[in-house]
Structure 1
Amino acid sequence: MTLRQPVTHLALVRASSGRSAELGARLRDLLEPSLRTPGCLGFTVQRSQADADLWLLSGSWQDQQAMRGYFASPTLELFGELVQARVVSSLDLHTFD
C-alpha cells in the first residue's frame, strides 16, 4: 500500500510593468476552478505588500498525482495566455512535500 503524502506548490509570478491589476484579476479567476479540482486541499492568490508587481499562488494537494493532474488541466492554460500576452514578466515555481 502506497502512502499518500500532501504536496504544495508555490509560484511567484511577476507582472509586466503596468499590468499588475490585470494579472491579479486573471490569477483570481483561478481560485474557484482550482479549489474544485480533485485532490485540492487549498489554493490562494496573494499580492506582495512590498512589491505591487509580485503575486504568490499557493496550492496544497492530496498527493503528487493530484498536483500533476492539476498542472496538466485546462485550468492552467491561463498561464500560457498570460505569458503570450506579456502580462507576466517572470514565473518561479517550487514544489514541496
Structure 2
Amino acid sequence: MGPKVLYLLNISNNPERLSAASGWVVADTLLSALTNAGAVVTLGSPAPVRDARVGFWPMPMPARGRAPRAPRSITDALAAVCGPGPDEGMRNGSGKLRA
C-alpha cells in the first residue's frame, strides 16, 4: 500500500456546477494522478471527484460561498477517514494540514 493522503477541498460553487470550480477541477485531476501513482487518497469535500478509487468523506456545503469549511477537528477527520493517520494531508488553497 502506498502513502495515505487526505485532501480537504473548499468548493465555493454550487456542487451541480463543479466544472466552474477551479479547485474541484484541480482536485479531480491531481487526486486521480496520485491514485495512479499508488497513493491511497481520501477527499473531504461537499462533492466527490469522478475517480471512484478516491475515497470520499462528505463535508457540508457552507451557507456563504467562502465560509470556513474545515471539519470541527482535523484530528477527528484524519481518524475517521484514514484510520491511523495519513502520511500527508493537503487543503486546497491553504497548503499542508497540521493536526
With normalisation by structure 1, the TM-score equals 0.35
Give the structure, 1 or 2, with the largest relative contact order (CA under 8 Å, sep 6 or more). 1
| Higher Cα radius of gyration | 1
Q: Compare the two structures and name the one with the higher strand fraction.
A: 1
